[in-house]
């Protein structure tokens, strides 16, 4: 599904290399976790995959089902089904959450040559997901993320993700800011999205989230490349032993 | 829930609208070839007499014009606004242009089809039956169409007359309702008010006149649509709205002009009088040609708009969406004379390219327990400059006067400017004035966030800016709100990236 080969990326006009020959493959139907120390390039990886400005890709490739993602604008990648759950979700003043999401969904559908979703169908889907995530309906009428707590913002990311039903999901530090109850609700949502035709990449500093969303593989990202990989149990080892061995 | 759905619909439509209109940035820029007659170029007493004679005016009005003209000669152009433009040559323009009229028009069928076509192109139907045959319950809007210097047609006059509402061109009002015109004209904006207002008094051509009798709630929206067409012509219209005791009217104003290389001057006057318990809602969508991307051409929009809340508990609300004009100089104001009267000003001013806007309001509290509310949203993009200039003052007798002002500026890109210049004067210790201001920049992070969710860059800007303006857009009548949202999106095209 997602194939990253020998990816290198720099910032500051090439003065600083963040990703340095990173290779990673997430097959459809699997959940992979990326762990690593601060500054290892975890967030950069999520931004390069989704197409944020400010990073120069100097080598390597990123493909989704064989299609080159690096050539696409962020919105084209989104229409292909790439979704990023942001570490720091942005506030969108004056735009109600539902308006934002429906506009986004229809933009994606249009790019894919599909008809826009009808208002009743959209509302039904949004209400069902909100219920599942224990989000009060009033929240959805408020401007997206404005005045929301850190945990509420993260929950809103998962809400958008579940309504949009993307094909490939990148979750960047989703667990930060969530208390245990919220973590469980979020994890239930993500687990419900696990499907044979969907891939999920979880980027996290702590293994706590992985107790709830059990990954198929765990990778250590350090110094801009994958240094080691293992199964779900590997995350626990890393948590106790730290990343010093891979620095 | 229903309410949310409606709003969803509109905002999604905005985004659709942008896409559909991407090709033509200023779609009102077409030029129409219509047979017109002009006054000779330039300005002198003979021109003033010419205009007055053309309109077959009574002596008192000619005297009024001449007095204003002589006064104007003694005045200097104001220079305090934060706008910069070459000196206007007042002798190098026409002060009167009118489509050649064969005879008095009895009905719409007699209007020059070319002119009807212009309005059709602008999306304004002047055919009453089309509106009537539309969806059941669709709101009716009566339109006064002002083409260059003259009003060409006013729709729904008969139906309005049944309610005692007078809605006609200013020239007709001078003929048919001289007592009302003489009583109220110049009573809100004095002839000597300012340079452009005085000029307007000398050479004003036409405009709309509205009178709502006591206790009448005007059964439909009234609207005037201004179109500048003739080359090298200044537009000097004046509008007078009188809301008698306990009446209500909602009035809309729209403006466009063809794309031209030279600058066109628009110096209008709008006067509103609200008597006891009357309410007037005045909405403007101003989309005069802003000039090209190099800053060449465009309309100079130097307008004086003022409302006098003369009676107790009267209320006037100004809502404006300003996206056009090369230079805007405009401060729709309220004089809160009646005890308990209220004034509101909701504004969205968008500048892009080389546009300059110096706009805001004046809330002058004279009566007891008067209230005012100002919400201003300024958006600057490109190399443009936008200034909010607002005065809130309380006379010493304005006990318990209250004002709330919120001024938000949004910057797009790093070559534009936003400025806020509030003036606050209080003559009584019982007044409570609040002023809040914010300046923010449309962030790359917000744009990326929207694009990651699937919106194109331009759709993302449109969505974010519409969100920023939401408080004001909500104040517009429904049909206008949709238009305004589209306009917001179109005027910001190409502002990023």
Q: Which of B440, B444, B454, B472 has the highest number of chain A CBs within 10 A, making it the mutation to test binding with A?
A: B454
**pLDDT for residue B489:** 76
Catalogue the E-assigned strands of A46-145. 56-64, 67-68, 82-85
Q: Is residue B496 part of a domain?
A: no
Phi, psi values for residue B140, rounded to 5°:
-90, 145
3-state secondary structure chain B: CHHHHHHHHHHHHHHHHHHHHCCCCCCCCCCCCCCEEECCCCCCHHHHHHHHHHCCCCHHHHHHHHHHHHHHHCCCCCCCCCCCCCCCCCCCCECCEEECCCCCCCCHHHCCHHHHHHHHHCCCCCCHHHHHCCCCCCCCEEEEEEECCEEEEECCHHHHHHCCCEEEEHHHHHHHCHHHHHHHCCCCCCCCCCHHHHHHHHHCCCCEEEEECCCCECCCEEEEEEECCCCCECECCEEEEEECCCCEEEEEEEEECCCCCCEEEECCEEEEEECCCCEEEEEEEECCCCCCCCCCCEEEEEEEEEEEECCCCCEEEEEEEECCCCEEEECCEEEECCCCCEEEEEEEEEECCCCEEEEEEEEEECCCCCEEEEEEEEEECCCCEEEEEEEEEECCCCCCCEEEEEEEEEECCCCCEEEEEEEEEECCCCCEEEEEEEEEECCHHHHHHHHHCCCCHHHHHHHHHHHHCHHHHCCCCHHHHHHHHHHHHHHCCCCCC
- Taking residue B124's Cβ as centre, other Cβ atoms within 10 Å add up to 17
Query: From the CA of B459, how many Å to the nearest CA of chain A?
Result: 9
Q: Is residue B373 part of a domain?
A: yes
Report the residue from B448, B453, B457 with minimal CB separation from A160: B453
**Which of A87-91, A122-126, B97-101 shows the lowest per-residue confidence on average (mean pLDDT)?**
B97-101
**Which of A132-141, B287-296, B360-369, B470-479 shows the lowest per-residue confidence on average (mean pLDDT)?**
B287-296
Q: Which of A55, A86, A87, A103 has the highest number of chain B CBs within 10 A, making it the mutation to test binding with B?
A: A103
* β-strand pairing of B327-330 with B221-227: unpaired
Cα–Cα distances in Å, from A183 out to A186, A238, B437? 5, 21, 38
Contact with chain B for residue A166, Cβ under 8 A: no
Average confidence (pLDDT) over A226-238: 92
* β-strand pairing of B279-286 with B315-322: parallel
Q: Which residue of B has its CA nearest to A93?
A: B467
Q: What is the pLDDT of residues A207-226, one digit of tens each?
A: 889 999 999 999 999 999 99
Q: Where are the domains of chain A?
A: 2-246
Q: What is the ipTM of this complex?
A: 0.96
Contact with chain B for residue A72, Cβ under 8 A: no
Mean pLDDT of chain B: 82
Q: What percent of chain B has pLDDT over 70?
A: 78
**pLDDT for residue B230:** 63
Report the residue from B4, B444, B451 with minimal CB separation from A75: B451
Residue B22 has pLDDT above 50, yes or no: no
Give CA–CA dist B305/B347, Å, rounded.
Answer: 14
Q: Is residue B337 part of a domain?
A: yes
Do B324 and B290 touch, CB atoms closer than 8 A?
yes
CA angle B113, B116, B121 (to 5 degrees): 125
Contact with chain B for residue A243, Cβ under 8 A: no
Q: What is the pLDDT of residues A171-186, one digit of tens each?
A: 999 988 888 888 898 8
Give CA–CA dist B195/B77, Å, rounded.
Answer: 6
Closest CA to A78 of B463, B457, B15, B451: B451
Structural domain containing residue B400: 2-491
Judging contacts by C-beta atoms under 8 Å, the chain B residues touching residue A105 are 454
How many contacts does A have with B, using Cβ atoms within 8 A?
A: 103
Q: Which residue of A has its CA nearest to B465?
A: A94
Report the residue from A93, A111, A119 with minimal CB separation from B454: A111
Q: Do B470 and A95 touch (CB under 8 A)?
A: yes
Report the residue from A52, A108, A119 with minimal CB separation from B8: A119
Specify which residues B211 forms β-bridges with. Answer: B166, B242
Burial class (CB in 10 A: 0-12, 13-18, 19+), A2: buried
Query: From the CA of B139, how many Å to the nearest CA of chain A?
Result: 24
Give, to the nearest 10 degrees, the angle between helix A97-111 and helix B457-468: 160
Q: Do A84 and B467 touch (CB under 8 A)?
A: no
Report the residue from A84, A101, A111 with minimal CB separation from B452: A84
Judging contacts by C-beta atoms under 8 Å, the chain B residues touching residue A111 are 454
As for how many domains chain B has, the answer is 1
- Evaluated on CA atoms A201, A207, A208, A212, the torsion sign reads positive
pLDDT grade, residue B29 (50/70/90)?
Answer: low
Say if domain A2-246 classifies as CATH 3.40.50.300.
Answer: yes
Judging contacts by C-beta atoms under 8 Å, the chain B residues touching residue A158 are none
Q: Which residue of A has its CA nearest to B1?
A: A141
Contact with chain B for residue A95, Cβ under 8 A: yes
Report the residue from A90, A94, A116 with minimal CB separation from B468: A94
Closest CA to B363 of B379, B348, B349, B347: B347
Query: From the CA of B408, how many Å to the nearest CA of chain A?
Result: 12
Q: Is residue B334 part of a domain?
A: yes
Q: Is residue B474 part of a domain?
A: yes
Average confidence (pLDDT) over B197-219: 92
pLDDT grade, residue B21 (50/70/90)?
Answer: very low
**pLDDT for residue B120:** 64
Closest CA to B462 of B439, B437, B494: B494
Judging contacts by C-beta atoms under 8 Å, the chain A residues touching residue B454 are 75, 78-79, 104-105, 107-108, 111
């Amino acid at each position: 599904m997602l194939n990253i080969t020998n990816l290198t990326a720099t910032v500051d006009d090439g003065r600083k290399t963040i990703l340095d020959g990173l290779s990673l493959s997430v097959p459809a139907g699997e959940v992979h976790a990326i762990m690593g120390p601060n500054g290892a390039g975890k967030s950069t990886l999520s931004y390069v995959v989704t197409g944020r400005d400010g990073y120069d890709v100097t080598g390597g490739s990123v493909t989704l089902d064989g299609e080159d993602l690096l050539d696409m604008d962020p919105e084209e990648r989104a229409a292909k089904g790439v979704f990023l759950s942001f570490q720091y979700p942005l506030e969108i003043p004056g735009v109600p959450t539902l308006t934002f999401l429906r506009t986004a969904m229809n933009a994606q559908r249009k790019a894919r040559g599909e008809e826009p979703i009808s208002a009743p169908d959209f509302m039904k889907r949004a209400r069902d997901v909100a219920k599942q995530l224990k989000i009060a309906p009033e929240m959805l009428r408020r401007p997206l993320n404005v005045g929301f707590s850190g945990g509420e913002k993260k929950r809103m990311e998962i809400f958008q993700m579940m309504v949009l039903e993307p094909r490939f999901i990148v979750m960047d530090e989703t667990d930060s800011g969530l208390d245990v109850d919220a973590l469980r609700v979020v994890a239930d949502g993500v687990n419900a999205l696990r499907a044979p035709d969907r891939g999920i990449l979880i980027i996290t500093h702590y293994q706590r989230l992985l107790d709830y969303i059990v990954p198929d593989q765990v990778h250590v990202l350090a110094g801009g490349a994958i240094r080691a990989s293992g199964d779900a149990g590997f995350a626990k080892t890393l948590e106790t032993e730290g990343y010093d061995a891979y620095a | 829930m229903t309410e949310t759905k409606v709003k969803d619909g509109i905002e999604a439509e905005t985004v659709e609208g942008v896409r559909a209109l991407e090709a033509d940035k200023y779609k009102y820029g077409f030029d129409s070839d219509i047979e017109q007659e002009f006054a000779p170029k330039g300005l002198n007493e003979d021109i003033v007499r010419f205009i007055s004679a053309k309109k077959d005016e009574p002596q008192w009005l000619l005297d009024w014009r001449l007095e204003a003209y002589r006064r104007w000669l003694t005045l200097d152009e104001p220079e305090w606004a934060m706008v910069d433009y070459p000196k206007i040559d007042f002798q190098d323009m026409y002060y009167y242009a009118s489509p050649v009229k064969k005879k008095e028009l009895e009905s719409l069928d007699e209007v020059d089809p070319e002119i009807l076509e212009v309005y059709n192109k602008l999306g304004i139907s002047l055919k009453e039956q089309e509106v009537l045959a539309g969806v059941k319950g669709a709101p009716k809007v009566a339109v006064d169409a002002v083409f260059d210097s003259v009003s060409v047609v006013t729709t729904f006059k008969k139906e309005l007359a049944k309610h005692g509402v007078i809605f006609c061109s200013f020239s007709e009002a001078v003929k048919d309702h001289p007592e009302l015109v003489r009583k109220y004209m110049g009573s809100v904006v004095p002839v000597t008010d300012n340079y452009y207002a005085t000029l307007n008094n000398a050479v004003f051509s036409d405009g709309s006149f509205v009178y709502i009798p006591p206790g009448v709630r005007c059964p439909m929206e009234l609207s005037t649509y201004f179109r500048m067409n003739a080359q090298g012509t200044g537009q000097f219209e004046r509008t007078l709205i009188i809301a008698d005791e306990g009446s209500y009217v909602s009035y809309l104003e729209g403006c466009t002009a063809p794309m031209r290389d030279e600058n066109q001057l628009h110096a209008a006057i709008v006067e509103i009088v609200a008597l006891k318990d009357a309410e007037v809602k005045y909405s403007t969508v101003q989309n005069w040609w802003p000039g090209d991307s190099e800053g060449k051409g465009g309309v100079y929009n130097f307008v004086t708009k003022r409302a006098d809340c003369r009676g107790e508990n009267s209320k006037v609300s100004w809502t404006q969406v300003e996206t056009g004009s090369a230079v805007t100089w405009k401060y729709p104001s309220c004089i809160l004379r009646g005890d308990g009267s209220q004034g509101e000003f909701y504004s969205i001013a968008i500048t892009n390219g080389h546009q300059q806007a110096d706009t805001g309001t004046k809330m002058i509290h004279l009566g007891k327990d008067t209230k005012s509310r100002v919400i201003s949203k300024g958006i600057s993009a490109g190399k443009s400059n936008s200034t909010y200039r607002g005065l809130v003052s309380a006379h010493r007798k304005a006990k318990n006067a209250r004002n709330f002002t919120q001024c938000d500026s949004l910057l797009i890109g790093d070559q534009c400017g936003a400025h806020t210049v509030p003036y606050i004067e209080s003559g009584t210790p019982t007044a409570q004035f609040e002023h809040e201001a914010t300046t923010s920049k449309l962030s790359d992070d917000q744009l990326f966030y929207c694009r990651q969710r699937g919106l194109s860059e331009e759709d993302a800007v449109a969505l974010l800016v519409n969100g920023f303006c939401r408080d004001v857009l909500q104040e517009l009548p429904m049909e206008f709100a949709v238009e305004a949202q589209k306009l917001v999106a179109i005027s910001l095209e190409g502002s990023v990236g």
